Amino acid sequence: MRFGRKLKNLKRLIEILFFYRDITGVFAFFIVYLFSEISFNKLYLAIPFILLGLFLRIWGYFYLGDIGYSLKFRNKFLVVNGIYRYLKHPIYLGNFLILIGFLLFLKMPIIFLLGIIIFFLTKYSLFIYYEEKIAFNKTQNFKIIKVKPSFKNCLKELKTISLILLALFLFFLKI
């Protein structure tokens, strides 16, 4: 009984983190923005990470579509074509590469750098754990499907591109 309560509390925490994942990203951005300086000599290293992260996100949403923008876990299926044939979580990997790209060209106290990376890895590891738990739960109607890709699915990624450009602009204003 006690073990079940812990799992229920963990599930609640994961669902809260998932629901507020954009807000936690904005909060982390403000911490980074307040306590960092730009290191131009590492900018050439950062840009490829950011671009590769964006590419993975766009390619992931090319197949996933609106489902990826949900504020709740809705894993009743597993996409197995396109990039999902090679990577289980291309959007999460893209997010991580974008984060690493930003952190590469910033000078900040190591405690903030490590805190942000550990928080990100913990949060997304919990998301993956929960998705796997849902996916392999025998009581749910879980399906393996092939999704028809669509450029329309990628349109919401214009928001991500705009936010990244805005973040870069704000960092360059600090100079």
Q: pLDDT value at position 141?
A: 60
According to the model, what pLDDT value does residue 125 have?
92
Kind plus residue range of the DSSP H or E element containing 145: strand 143-145
Quote the pLDDT of residue 68. Answer: 65
pLDDT value, residue 62: 86
Residue 99 is predicted with a pLDDT of 92
Considering the entire predicted model, what is its pTM? 0.84
How far apart are alpha carbons 111 and 118 in whole angstroms? Answer: 10
Could you report the per-residue pLDDT of 32-57, keeping only the tens digit for each?
888 888 887 888 889 999 999 999 99
CA dist 42 → 10, 37, 48, 107 (Å): 38, 12, 11, 10
Q: What is the pLDDT of residue 75?
A: 59
Contact at 8 Å (CB) between 102 and 30? no
With a CB cutoff of 8 Å and minimum separation 6, the contacts of 138 are: none
- pLDDT, averaged per 10 consecutive residues of the chain (175 residues), comes to 66 85 84 83 89 93 72 66 87 93 88 90 89 65 70 81 88 78
